[in-house]
Every structure is written in C-alpha cells, then in structure tokens.
Amino acid sequence: MSLRDRARPPDLPAADARVPGIAARVMLAIVGVLVSLVAYGSSGWSVVGILLSLSAAWAPRNLLAWVLIVFLALGELSRHAALTWQFLVLLAGVHLLHVLGLLTLELPWRGWVQPAVFARPLLRFIAIQIPAQLLAVVALLALAPNAHGHRPVTVAAFTVIGAAALAGLTLLLLRARPNEHLGR
C-alpha cells in the first residue's frame, strides 16, 4: 500500500488550497494606502499614511498598524461632524486594519496557510460592521448639525432616548429570566 492509496480522514479539511502567508501583509498595505487616501485625499498627510501602511506590512511586530489607525482617527477629528461616505469607509477601514494587523502578527512571512484561516476573522468583521455602520448613520443623522448649524436631536434628548432604551432592554432581560436573580 502506497501513500497515495490511503484515503484522507473525513474529519480533516482538504489541504489542497493554499494561500501565501504574505497575503495578509499585502492586504494590510493595500487597505492602509486606500484608507489613507480616502481620509487625507491629496494632502501631504496621505504620504505619512502610505508610509505607515507600508511599514506596518513590512514589520508587523512594531505594531505600526495601530499607529496607522490612530493617525487615521486623528485626521477625522479635524473635520466637521457629518454623515459622509468617507467617514463610513474610514470606520470600516480602521476596523479592517485592526483585523489584518492581528493576522500579520500570527501568519508566517514565507509559509502557506489554509484559506479558512481568513474566514472566521472576516465573518466577525462583517458581524461587527453591520451594526456599527447602522449606529454611525443613526447617530450622525441625529446628532450632527446640518448646513444651517441646527441639530435634529439635541444631546439632552439623545440622552433621554438612550436611557429609555437601556431601561427597556433591562426589563426585557429581566423578563427573559424571571427567577434567576432569586437563586432558584
């Protein structure tokens, strides 16, 4: 009996498909450059973002991906609060940079990895981004001033709405487990 005649155990995944380990670093560089261009446009600060992106991909152990995230977030602080596509791309981009930064710390530089390695982090990314994007849209539509400087909902009204929502959530959770707090 030769090695080729043996059947693969059914509980092991197929080891045929492989992705180079450098793919996470390449994606980190690409996403970092694109988000830097979205955040800073054609200003000189985009060059700093591009250099940080390339450096983070080249030397992930220096944690430059998170320096890039802070750099991109600080750039957003100089803008007026408004619902723009650039803000939504930045919100998703910095989160994706975080995920890719973690992957570059773990994946080998020259080795090959299974594509399934990327599945769980990307599914978590999507599961977090859907409510985060919706919350960002609602918060900016409700709290950001419009062109005339008027806010649709004041911070005080938003606080009252949030407190009422928190109280309602507490009641829902208490009804779901009515006798658990009594130790029964």
User: Residue 126: what pLDDT?
Assistant: 94
This model's pTM is above 0.75: no
Phi-psi region of 80 (alpha: psi -120 to 50; beta: other; left: phi over 0): beta
pLDDT, one tens digit for every residue, the chain (184 residues): 555 555 555 555 555 668 888 999 999 999 999 999 999 988 889 999 999 999 999 999 999 999 999 999 998 887 777 788 889 999 999 999 999 999 999 888 888 888 888 889 999 999 999 999 998 888 888 777 766 666 666 767 778 888 888 998 898 888 876 565 555 5
In single-letter form, the type of residue at position 36 comes to S
User: Residue 80: what pLDDT?
Assistant: 75
User: Residue 67: what pLDDT?
Assistant: 94
For residues 176 and 174, what is the distance between their CA atoms, to the nearest angstrom? 5
In single-letter form, the type of residue at position 72 comes to L
User: Residue 172: what pLDDT?
Assistant: 86
User: Residue 6: what pLDDT?
Assistant: 55
User: Residue 70: what pLDDT?
Assistant: 94
For residues 75 and 67, what is the distance between their CA atoms, to the nearest angstrom? 12
SS3 (DSSP) at 37: helix
User: Residue 82: what pLDDT?
Assistant: 76
Domain boundaries along the sequence of the chain: 17-144, 147-177
DSSP characters over 57-123: HH-GGGTHHHHHHHHHHHHHHTSPP---HHHHHHHHHHHHHHHHHHHHHHS-SSSEE-THHHHHHHH
Cβ contact 66:103 at 8 Å: no
Cβ contact 131:91 at 8 Å: no
Residue 120's nearest CA partner among 99, 91, 98, 95 is: 99
